[in-house]
Amino acid sequence: MDIRHAKVTSPRIAEGIGEVTIVADGDLVTGIYFPGHWTKPDAAAFGPETDAASDPVIAGAVDQLRDYLRGERDTLDFATRADGNDFEKRVWAMLRGIPRGETMTYGQIAEQLGDRSLARVVGRAVGHNPLSIIVPCHRVVGADGSLTGYAGGLERKRFLLELEGALQDAGPTLF
């Protein structure tokens, strides 16, 4: 295992989402976290800090992320790995299927999993997504379309949905 991380801030990243911590293991990005992230693992799990520009995996992720935040790219397609239990992985796979510019509710995801009563469990899985933005958990909204429950903060969620043109579907923000 070659786990390391870099804290990244660029003008466009800072303007839209602030600083991010990108975690990599070998050739894979395994985490993107914000300061104050609700479900951020202990920093010791991130390995040593490295310079983003000198690490090809992290530098590639930063380049794509900057282009995405500039509106010059619709998808992020660098190699990733998300560690979680089987249920979380199923939910995260469904999140990847939510198209840019669209949103889904926790209940809709639970229905697709076969049981609408799983909405709260789906919310927990969404909140534990280690690959913010890449696995677009920001595209999940409350049953009434409100912006709720984003581990990176509702201001970031609002920014990302505005960037993607989905905010008109998201309803009022509760913050």
Return the active site residues. 137
Q: How many CB atoms lie within 10 A of CB 166?
A: 20
Give the span between the Cα atoms of 59 and 151, in whole angstroms. Answer: 24
